[in-house]
Structure 1
């Protein structure tokens, strides 16, 4: 992680992925999977990641809410969105925000990278590179 990311983290306490992100690590991920199949794979993978607690799942909307506590007791809320782009193509976005004031020193950025790395292990064969 770069020094710039840490300095930005002093004042920002949230981070999210999207199509327009400048950082390639923070771009939306696309997969050649139906939404239902992607939901099953993502849901089962997220439940197995140590340190993350699944709080809520809404299959009809395609959102999974997670919680992670840092070593200092700070709580981060993470939302994973599974969006159907076409019948056989799905997009995954992640938004992470820290509770409380001040920044997070890049913890939300690291959460997103960790989650995407875990998902890539299971979904890499379906990944669409754009």
Structure 2
């Protein structure tokens, strides 16, 4: 990732993962689990973190909304997509609630924190696996 992109990402109040993200740490992550098990793991990660409240769960759409209240206010939306039986992709989108035009990397830090918790609960397969297809 170029220096300019790193600076732009740092001075943003929003971060999200994507299949072909320029930052390798923010690529879609794949786990060996069912969609239901992955959704339960995301909800458990929010409960363990503290300062989080799950506001909405849509199993049909595979989305979970989490309101983060501590240490800073933010909204996290996790999208769980079943790619194959027992292979599930999880993407995150975090928007910080700040009066400034930047959150100084807080939204990125939240995503990495949730990914780390999921890695310890689910069997990690890889990241950005379908980017070349």
TM-score using structure 1 length: 0.82
- Give the conservation status (yes or no) of the 8 Å contact 1:7–1:105: no
The alignment covers a number of residue pairs equal to: 123
Measure, in 2, the Cα distance between the counterparts of 1:111 and 1:45: 11
Contiguous gaps of at least 5 residues in structure 2: none
- Give the conservation status (yes or no) of the 8 Å contact 1:6–1:106: no
Q: 2:76 aligns with which of 71, 75, 78?
A: 78
Is the deviation greater in 102-111 or in 41-50? 41-50
Measure, in 1, the Cα distance between the counterparts of 2:103 and 2:118: 23
Aligned-residue RMSD, C-alpha? 2.1
Aligned counterpart, 2:67:
67
Deviation of the 1:120 alpha carbon? 1.2
Per-residue CA distance 1:57-79 (angstroms, 9 max, x = gap): 111111111111354xx521100
Secondary structure of 1:54's counterpart equals strand
Secondary structure of 1:57's counterpart equals strand
Aligned counterpart, 1:25:
25
Aligned counterpart, 1:93:
91
Measure, in 1, the Cα distance between the counterparts of 2:115 and 2:42: 10
TM-score using structure 2 length: 0.80
Contiguous gaps of at least 5 residues in structure 1: none
Distance 1:50 1:100, change over 3 A: closer
